Structure 1
Amino acid sequence: GNADASPRGDGPGFVRVLDDNTLLIPDRRGNNRVDSFGNILSAPGVGLVFMVPGIPETLRVNGKAHATRDAELLAPSVMQERAPVTGMIVTVEEAYLHCGKALIRSKLWDPASQVPRKSFPTLGRIIADQTKAVDGDEADRNLEEAYRLRLY
């Protein structure tokens, strides 16, 4: 497998601490990607960066991961009455805080530095441009519907 970077996010506590060295990250229906799980089967090394909105420092965790389909283990991760089918279990090998210089320089949490949405093409427009298989407006409508109805 190849190295893979895939965003994961949810409310506080969505990454469960199972014990001093083990984390569980539920795979949400809305992720709609299986790259990470395929890759950890052949190359289980993972690096995670935890970010909290408004906090410039990050938590970095490195370790080994494997997939789980254990319904009992995943049951506490139910959201909107939907239990995740799979999850990623990470055995932590190292964890440390990282200074906030990069996020401070990027002004990531500064609302004044946010790019106006209309100045950047939407994902639907990009998909339409690249594939020529779908209309950009239709793709945008489909994405908005997925964001509303299929996050979990």
Structure 2
Amino acid sequence: MSQGERKLQSQFGTERRAAAFYRNQMLDHVNTDMADFISEQEMVFVATSDSGGNCDNTFRAGDPGFVRALDAYTLLYPEYRGNGVMASLGNISENPHIGLMFIDFYTHHIGLHVNGTAEIVENEALSSLGIDDDTLLRMHQEENGRAERWVVIRVDEAYIHCSKHIPHLVKKSETVDWGTDDEKKKGGDFFNVKRRK
């Protein structure tokens, strides 16, 4: 929690509600229920910023459980082939603070915030995290060669995002072409950027 939070809680008279939230809803780790929830998720929103505080929010997706809880204080997710810009990783290389937002639109209609510090770990360095050989082998098999590198997060806080305004969506079955360079499959120039330059 930030000084800004505390100041505005005092200014707007929300200290009691905030204190109850911190006491009843916030942890400095992910508990078993949170880890189980993460293991079901196929998407996460990732917030980073560079050393100057310029923010970027992005979306990551994968097979259910592509974000893994190694233990109560450590999460990791694979980085797949993308557009080559490296915005999130570039930010992490300058400023390790990261925010993850998991939202289940389909089953539980609930969200989970996880904030912490991140580092970039190459595939060959995963064993330095203390992951046993069997788990490493399983992770590589599950990723089927798609993971170019990994982002490891040391958890500072984890807390609920209430379901009140989360829309209920219906999941559509489709095949995902991971790592494709096909412009049509990637959305092409949907926002007509090329034509306006």
State the distance in 1 between where 2:90 and 2:161 align: 29
Tell me the residue number matched to 1:91: 154
Tell me how many residue pairs correspond in the alignment.
119
State the distance in 2 between where 1:32 and 1:53 align: 29
Return the match for 1:67 from 102, 120, 126. Answer: 120
Q: Percent identity?
A: 34
- Structure 2: stretches of 5+ with no match in the other structure: 1-49, 127-135, 172-185
What SS does structure 2 have at the residue aligned with 1:126?
coil
Tell me the residue number matched to 2:169: 109
The alpha-carbon distance between structure 1 residues 108 and 31, as it changes in their structure 2 partners (threshold 3 A), is farther
1:29, distance to aligned residue in structure 2 (A): 1.7
Tell me the residue number matched to 2:66: 14
* Structure whose residues are more often strand by fraction: 2
The alpha-carbon distance between structure 1 residues 125 and 85, as it changes in their structure 2 partners (threshold 3 A), is closer
- Structure 1: stretches of 5+ with no match in the other structure: 112-121, 134-152
The alpha-carbon distance between structure 1 residues 79 and 131, as it changes in their structure 2 partners (threshold 3 A), is farther
Tell me the residue number matched to 2:30: none
- Normalising by structure 1, we get a TM-score of 0.66
1:86, distance to aligned residue in structure 2 (A): 1.0
1:124, distance to aligned residue in structure 2 (A): 2.2
**Aligned-pair Cα RMSD in Å:** 2.7
Aligned counterparts, 1:3-152, within 5 A: 3-30=55-82, 32-54=84-106, 55-71=108-124, 73=126, 76-79=139-142, 81-103=144-166, 107-109=167-169, 123-126=187-190, 129-132=192-195
1:99, distance to aligned residue in structure 2 (A): 0.8
The alpha-carbon distance between structure 1 residues 108 and 20, as it changes in their structure 2 partners (threshold 3 A), is same
- Normalising by structure 2, we get a TM-score of 0.52
Contact map agreement 1:78 1:84 (CA 8 A) in 2: no
